[in-house]
Amino acid sequence: MAMTPSTDEPAATRMLFLGEAALTEGFHLIGFETWADATRQELDELLQGLLRKRQNAFIVLGQALAGCDSPLLQRVRAEGGHIVVTQVPSLADPDNFQCEIDDRLQLLLGGNLQPDLE
């Protein structure tokens, strides 16, 4: 039985960064679409468009925006699927970075996830 090549190409994944202006240029240089100092409203509009068009996306958020109280962001994170969201630490306070997944990993693995640097 001969296999026929698929004409269905995978949908392109948009790479997006919304966060501190100081990080924007670096993300832009590696091919991300960027929004410097984006607001919650801008994030919600972007997410709404991605959901409506069913676009694949990899979104990196600055820590402040990642912690905003957007119900749409919470929905995207809970659903998973074609939109993946992660975050980067603030340049102003890199030692105070905590990612949402840290709490989940700590529950699964137990103990402290912070390295002991003493």
Angle, helices 40-53 vs 71-79, to 10°: value is: 40
pLDDT of the residue at 81 = 84
Side-chain half-sphere CA neighbours of 53 within 13 A: 13
Quick one: pLDDT at residue 71? 95
> Residues 59, 51: contact at Cβ < 8 Å?
no
Q: How far apart are CA 97 and CA 76, in angstroms?
A: 21
Query: What is d(CA 12, CA 15) in angstroms, rounded to the nearest whole number?
Result: 9
pLDDT the model gives residue 89: 79
For residues 6 and 8, give the distance between their C-alpha atoms in angstroms, rounded to a whole number: 5
Token pair recorded at residue 4 = 């026929």
Extract the tokens encoding 64: 């402040």
Question: In this predicted structure, what is the pLDDT of residue 11?
Answer: 73
- The phi and psi torsions of 23 (rounded to 5 degrees) equal -95, -15
**How confident is the chain (118 residues) per 10-residue block, as mean pLDDT?**
55 92 92 96 97 94 90 91 87 62 57 52
